[in-house]
Amino acid sequence: MTASLPVFADVFDTLPLGLMIVDAERQVRHWNRWLENASGLPREQVVGQRFARLFPTLATARVGLAIDAALDNGHAALISQALHGAPFDLNNGSSRPMQQTVRIVALDAGQGERYALLQISDVTEQVSHDEDWRRQSIELARFSRLDALTGLCNRKGFEERLEIECQRAQRSLQPLAVLIIDIDNFEAYRDEMGSLAADQCLVRLARVLNGIVKRPGDLLTCFNGGAFAAILPSTVEAGAVKVAERALAAVTQLALPHPRSAVGPHITVSIGAATSVDGKETADRLRKRADAALRRAQASGRARHALAPVQLSPDGFRRAP
């Protein structure tokens, strides 16, 4: 008969978590030693008091409503740290407030008598651990060649691949095209809609553009700040223009609302394209020409593409200035 053991009452005081019992009158009936230590409130000051008097702000918030649900309907509740942080004013000796997970269960004592048991766990260390983990993941992503959000290659991956493709084009005297695709007024979009919506917008655009830059050997990459770049080997001007036009049309068709666009009610992109006709172009120059073309597209009203001018080179090949 566990209930009749003389040590039973002491069990609550040995547990490494807070235990509070509230009765149907919303009076606190038990307050264990862990809670005494963490709150600085001795049992005598708490037991017998109404919960609402001790914790006026909590009584009308999620904790109080969950206690009501336990006492009135017998429902258990979980109150998460991620959504509530530190509901009770508790301290574990560290400089920040003790972060808590609170579990509330109904205990039936028979004859319709019911109590709510609150279990309060200290998850401060776990929160720090999660924060470290998040920081490390961001750090790792910086060294990676993949953009964590879209799964596309990132800028680092773009630079490396462009270098390789330029060398390959030079060896084989093959053309090569680069497209830089910039979302119009993306910073304003992020400010207006929030960073989560901005992330989702990037993911959707990545999906659509991936369906256009799809020949074997083509590469679509994602830069920070709402820009994409495509490397298109063996592609002449006409091909680059065709891809740019398809990308413009596909983004228009998505019709994602953009409340602060200077162009119209929806998300649009501007595209700068540059080609190396004979492969005799360095990666750096090719990228700069695509950038310049992009600025031209933006200056002439956005939501359009512009092609970097091509000239004949002194040795007879057509080359860009």
Partner 1 sequence: MNDLPAPQYDALLELLSAGCRDAKTALSRMRREPIELSLADVRLQARSEAVNRLVRRDAGLIYGVAQELDGALSGTALFVLPQEQGLELVQLLLGRRLQPNALSTLEQEALLEIGNIVLCALLAALSDKLDLPAPSALPTLYRGNAANLLESSAPQDEALSLRLSCHLKFHRVESDVLLLLDAPSCQRLRLQLERFVPPGATS
Chain positions contacting partner 1, by CB under 8 A? 61-62, 65, 69, 72-84, 101, 103, 105-106, 108, 123, 126-127, 130, 133-134, 137, 148-149, 193-197, 199-200, 257
CB of 206 to partner 1, least distance (A): 13
CB of 209 to partner 1, least distance (A): 19
Kindly tell me which of 149 and 219 has the beta carbon lying closer to partner 1: 149
Kindly tell me which of 75 and 215 has the beta carbon lying closer to partner 1: 75
**Please, where are the H alpha helices in the chain?**
8-14, 33-39, 43-46, 51-54, 56-59, 62-73, 81-84, 124-143, 155-172, 186-193, 195-210, 237-254, 283-299
CB of 225 to partner 1, least distance (A): 15
Pairing of β 305-307 and β 269-276 = parallel
Q: Give the angle 46-48-50 at the CA atoms, nearest 5°.
A: 80
Please, which residues have CB within 8 angstroms of residue 74's CB and are 6 or more apart in sequence? 106, 108, 114
Kindly tell me which of 32 and 81 has the beta carbon lying closer to partner 1: 81
CB of 117 to partner 1, least distance (A): 11
A 10 A CB-CB count for 9 gives: 9
CB of 80 to partner 1, least distance (A): 4
Place of tokens 């909590």: 58
Choose among 185, 182, 188: nearest CA to 296: 182
88 φ, ψ (degrees, to nearest 5): -90, 145
CA–CA gap between residue 203 and residue 197 (Å, rounded): 10
Kindly tell me which of 42 and 194 has the beta carbon lying closer to partner 1: 194
Kindly tell me which of 160 and 199 has the beta carbon lying closer to partner 1: 199
Residue 97 is classified by DSSP as P
Kindly tell me which of 29 and 103 has the beta carbon lying closer to partner 1: 103
CB of 122 to partner 1, least distance (A): 12
